[in-house]
Amino acid sequence: MGWIYGVQAIVVAIIAVLGFSGLWKVIGHWLYIAAVTGPRDLRALLRFIKLIILVKRYQRKNVTIGDVFVNLVSQHPNKACFIFEDKVWTFNEVNEFSNRIAHHFQSKGFKAGDIVGLFMENRPEYVCIWLGLSKIGVIVPLINTNLRLTSLQHSITVAQCNALIFGNSLISAVDEITLPSSVALYQFNDKPDESTKQNAQDLQSVMQSSSAENVINKDNQTRHHNKLLYIYTSGTTGLPKAAVISHSRFIFIAAGIHYVAAFRDDDIFYTPLPLYHTAGGVMSIGQALLFGSTVVIRKKFSASGYFSDCQKYNCTVSQYIGEMCRYILATPASPADKQHNIRTIFGNGLRPQIWKQFVDRFNIPNVAEFYGATEGNANIVNIDNKVGAIGFVSRILPSVYPISIIRADQNTGEPIRGPDGLCQLCKPNEPGVFIGKIIPNNPSRAFLGYVDEKASSKKIVRDVFKKGDSAFLSGDLLVSDERGYLFFIDRTGDTFRWKGENVSTSEVEAQVSNVAGYRDCVVYGVEIPNLEGRAGMAAILDAEKTVDLIDLANGLKKVLPSYARPQFVRLLTKVDMTGTFKLKKLDLQKQGYDPSAIDDKIYYLTTKGTYSILDNTVYEQINRGELRF
């Protein structure tokens, strides 16, 4: 690649000779941008070509994830596939466990197109179960283990599950909901002496009598473009939405990060992220299933154990979300900080404010910050350590990877169209909504959407740059600089991100209203200094001053996952009805939680799970980072 930098130097020299006047100023500027971004763009293009070659090859062969994995097993059956709590699972052991699952469910009449929900905590068996079910064409919704009551029941029923597999640690959550008798229940017990729920079967026991041999699938419907998983996302409104992940989509996501971030097949990956999300469950796990790498799975994230784990298991690539980086950075200095072999960390949400501090302290050579939506097709990666960037778009050949930033209403995300009725591209440094062009049957450009077709239609914008075309509307505000680097600004609509999870304000509003005696309320996200995302804040109409904060805290704990519970509560004595409901929410959001600027009483959620009064002293403690959320 040395010749590229030689050409770059020549172009810069030519520009210096020509000067910057008149037409040459425009040409010179373009040549300058081309010179400084050319090496980056060419490097990315070569990696993208490798990805497309793999995707096209698998598409021609019409393969499934199971097909690719079985081939890897034949190449190195005794290589470590997963490591979990010091136990090593070889590729052969993973394959045999998944085969037993496949044979058992096949013997019970499950077939291609049937749906079996998976509600378990992180462990290798989690992957083995959905992998085994995929071998007979069963679709597996991966259900968030934080969900309870209405959200949990909705996630199971909206996917039309024929059966549910749940971990023994989640029995109480399953007991709290009512499922149709037609939904078969299977309980996974991680210890042999665990008792099994009355109307459930012990999965470990029933599968032991099944064959460990590779499945000969007589149903020829199980193929490359068929549905593989449902992964839930909150979207912008309502209850969790089941995004469709096909075999081809799984391959594109996992292979995309593999090639673009320059992973190696002999890398050892570390992920403490939940396997029910795309980041951990597809991007990391996909490195084992598609490329034969070893993946270290941790049950739950530990800030103090992050780099010591990486050192212990000799990991070379580790995964993060921005929230984790701040927690890790807050831990006391340790010899493990630099005594590891990590060469790349990859993830999303590493704040520019702590980026350099993090990589310097932990001696990280490379950060592959990425951006993408589970259900979307607008995926990008930062390949050259540009601090704060989530990726880039080529300024020389922008059409090579058809993603764009268009002008839009920053509150609603609605595109702003020109006189011709088409969308308008943003200029450099002009914020707008990120979109990805849709090309059906192309894994890199297709939009599979949600199980709910109405929800899917809301994520598509039509007549974008010409009549009849369409694009995936991310709903996220991004900005591009002069060199094409992209930076995340915020989310539009009624969703905010907290603790690495998307939170739907309408869903939280419904639950808060119910718990608070069906009072009017609005929910929104507010920024806390030095914390990632936005913390939830609920403003509840309480003119009679009868809201019981103890009952509110206890009630919300039962119906909302921890990340969705409002961190602040504002009790409104009156509501200004002169504006629309939306405008009022925006006004409340702008006012935040400063007690000196608000007449209403404000409360914050303590680490004990109770709401306490937020006065000026507490407000200053929050701003100084002395209170933990």
Q: Which two tokens stand for residue 405?
A: 């930033």
Of 565, 516, 574, the closest CA to residue 537 belongs to 565
Q: Is the pLDDT of residue 312 over 80?
A: yes
For Cα atoms 346, 236, 570, give the angle at the middle one, nearest 5 degrees: 100
pLDDT of 186 reads: 97
Spatial distance between the Cα atoms of 234 and 373, rounded to a whole number of angstroms:
11
Give strand pairing partners of 227.
246
Q: Which long-range contacts (CB under 8 A, 24 or more apart) does 439-442 make?
A: 441/225
pLDDT of 236 reads: 44
Residue 550 inside a domain? The answer is yes
Of 156, 500, 473, 174, the closest CA to residue 324 belongs to 500
pLDDT of 579 reads: 36
CA 350 vs CA 9, 315, 353, 486: distances in Å: 32, 20, 9, 14
Spatial distance between the Cα atoms of 363 and 258, rounded to a whole number of angstroms:
22
Spatial distance between the Cα atoms of 201 and 509, rounded to a whole number of angstroms:
37
Spatial distance between the Cα atoms of 204 and 200, rounded to a whole number of angstroms:
12
Q: Is the pLDDT of residue 399 over 90?
A: no
Highest mean pLDDT among 370-379, 465-474, 568-577: 465-474
Reported as a single tens digit per residue, the pLDDT across 497-545 is: 898 887 888 778 888 988 998 888 889 999 999 888 899 999 999 988 8
DSSP state of 123: S
DSSP state of 427: P
Residue 551 inside a domain? The answer is yes
Q: Is 12 helix (H, G, I), strand (E, B) or coil?
A: helix
Spatial distance between the Cα atoms of 324 and 453, rounded to a whole number of angstroms:
34
Give me the percent of the chain exceeding a pLDDT of 70: 92
Give strand pairing partners of 121.
none
Number of Cβ within a 10 Å radius of residue 361: 15
Residue 569 inside a domain? The answer is yes
DSSP state of 415: B
Q: Is the pLDDT of residue 180 over 50?
A: yes
The answer to whether 118 and 165 have CB atoms below 8 angstroms apart is yes
- Of the candidates 40, 61, 82, which is a domain's last residue? 61
Spatial distance between the Cα atoms of 82 and 79, rounded to a whole number of angstroms:
9
- Quote the domain boundaries for residue 31: 2-61
The answer to whether 124 and 297 have CB atoms below 8 angstroms apart is yes
Which CATH number belongs to the domain containing residue 505 in this structure? 3.30.300.30
Please write down the HEC assignment for all residues of 461-485: EECCCCCCCEEEEEEEEEEECCCCE
Residue 333 inside a domain? The answer is no
DSSP alpha helix (H) spans, 62-158: 65-75, 91-107, 124-134, 149-158
Residue 256 inside a domain? The answer is no
Of 402, 392, 400, 623, the closest CA to residue 526 belongs to 623
Spatial distance between the Cα atoms of 128 and 274, rounded to a whole number of angstroms:
15
- Of the candidates 12, 32, 61, which is a domain's last residue? 61
Q: Is the pLDDT of residue 284 over 60?
A: yes
Instruction: State the DSSP string of 515-546.
Output: HTTS--EEEEEE--TT-SS-EEEEEEE-TT--
The answer to whether 390 and 348 have CB atoms below 8 angstroms apart is yes
Least confident interval from 68-82, 200-214, 233-247, 497-511: 233-247
Give strand pairing partners of 187.
166, 202
CA dihedral sign of residues 554, 560, 561, 567: negative
Q: Is the pLDDT of residue 432 over 70?
A: yes
Residue partners of 35: CB distance under 8 A and separation at least 6: 7, 8, 11, 12, 15
Residue 68 inside a domain? The answer is no
Q: Which two tokens stand for residue 601?
A: 């009483």
pLDDT of 578 reads: 37
Place of tokens 């097709």: 377
More confident residue, 30 or 441: 30
- Of the candidates 27, 61, 95, which is a domain's last residue? 61
The number of distinct structural domains making up the chain is 2
pLDDT of 581 reads: 45
Residue partners of 94: CB distance under 8 A and separation at least 6: 69, 73, 81, 82, 124, 127, 128, 131
Residue 578 inside a domain? The answer is yes
Give me the percent of the chain exceeding a pLDDT of 90: 69
Spatial distance between the Cα atoms of 406 and 414, rounded to a whole number of angstroms:
10
pLDDT of 410 reads: 76
Spatial distance between the Cα atoms of 494 and 504, rounded to a whole number of angstroms:
6
Q: Which two tokens stand for residue 26?
A: 């425009």
Give strand pairing partners of 142.
118, 231
Highest mean pLDDT among 67-81, 139-153, 377-391: 67-81
First CA to last CA distance, the chain: 48
The answer to whether 229 and 140 have CB atoms below 8 angstroms apart is yes
- Looking from the CA of 408 toward its CB, the CA atoms found within 13 Å total 27
DSSP alpha helix (H) spans, 176-246: 203-208
Residue 473 inside a domain? The answer is no
Of 82, 457, 346, 69, the closest CA to residue 228 belongs to 69
pLDDT of 369 reads: 97
